[in-house]
Amino acid sequence: MDQLSEITFRLPRTPASQTFLDQLRTLFADVAYADSVESVDAAGADRLTLTPPVPEGARPVTAFTLADIAEPEVALGTELVLGLVHGETTQTCVLPGTLDLAELTRRLAGHVQRVDHTGVNLPVDTSPEQWQQLVSAVAAESTMYRYPTGEQWPFVLPASADEFRADIGDFPVGREPRFELVYEQQLTQTSWQIALRTDLTRAELELLFPEPEGLTFPGLDDIFRVVPVRHPWPDLGIRFDLCYRAEGGTSDWETGEWLVTEGGRILSTGTGTV
C-alpha cells in the first residue's frame, strides 16, 4: 500500500474562497514551513501548502486550495474524499462563529508560530460503520495512532517512508501538521479544525477572544482556546484551536511521543476495527 502523500482542504473556486485562502496565508505568515507567497498546482489553482519540516521527506503534507466543486471537501490522497454530511437530524447543534477570519488574523498577527494539526469532525449522522471504514482506510495509508485516553480522536503523524513501513521511533519537534479525525456525537454539521501554536498565555488569549468569541472545551481548557469563525459555507463549521504558550520545555505531545507510545499505531485489518 502506498503512503498517503497529501491531505487537501478544498474550497469552491469563488471570490469568497479566494479571500479566505488569502487570509489564511496571512495568518500563517510566520510559520516557517508554510508557503509565504501565492503558488499554483498542476491545474493552475491557488494553493497554500504546509510541509512537515522533520523528518526529511515526511508525508503527508497539508494543503489548502481552490477547486471546481460545489461545497468544501477534504481529500485524503486521490481516492478518499470527505464531503459535508447532509443528514436527517432535525436538532441543531453547531459552534457558531462571531468573528470572521480577517479579524482573527488581525488579532493574532505576529503570534502564530506553528500549525499543530488540522482535522475533520464528522457529525452525529455518521454511522459507526462509516466511521470504522474511514479509520481503516486512512490507517492503511498512513502512520495513524489512537488517542491514548480512549476518545475517538485518532491522529495521523507525518512520517518518512521507512517509518511508514516500520513505525515511528524518533521524536523531534516539528513532525507537523498532524491530522485528526473526530467522531463527533454532539455537533450536527461537519466541522474543520485548525490548531495553532501561539506565543500567548491563556490569560492573553482570553483577553483577545472573550466569550462568546472564544470558548473552551471541558478537560481541554488548560491547553487551548477555541475560536469558531464565520465563513460563506452554511453546512460547515470552521474553528481555530489556539494553543497557549508552552511552559517548562518541550512536551511529549509536541514531539508526538505520547501518541506513539501511549496510544499505539492503528493497523488496518480490512474491518476498520480501531
Q: How confident is the model over 190-219, as pLDDT tens digits?
A: 999 999 999 999 999 999 999 999 999 888
Q: Output the pLDDT for position 270.
A: 47
The low-confidence residues of the chain, meaning pLDDT below 70, are 36-45, 87-95, 269-274
User: 3-class DSSP state for residue 157?
Assistant: coil
- Cell numbers for 94: 453547531
Q: Output the pLDDT for position 8.
A: 97
What CA–CA distance (Å, rounded) separates 5 from 51? 11
What CA–CA distance (Å, rounded) separates 181 from 161? 22
Q: Output the pLDDT for position 273.
A: 38
The CA–CA distances, whole Å, from 260 to 165, 171, 172, 263, 267 equal: 15, 9, 13, 6, 13
Q: Output the pLDDT for position 87.
A: 61
Q: Output the pLDDT for position 39.
A: 61
In our burial notation (b when 16+ CB lie closer than 10 A, e otherwise), range 134-170 reads bbbbbbbbbbbbbbeeeebbbbbbbbbeebbeeebee
User: 3-class DSSP state for residue 263?
Assistant: helix
Name the DSSP letter for residue 143: -
Q: How confident is the model over 213-267, as pLDDT tens digits?
A: 999 988 888 899 999 999 999 889 999 999 999 887 789 999 999 999 999 999 9
* Amino acid in position 235: D
Name the DSSP letter for residue 186: S
What CA–CA distance (Å, rounded) separates 155 from 175? 12
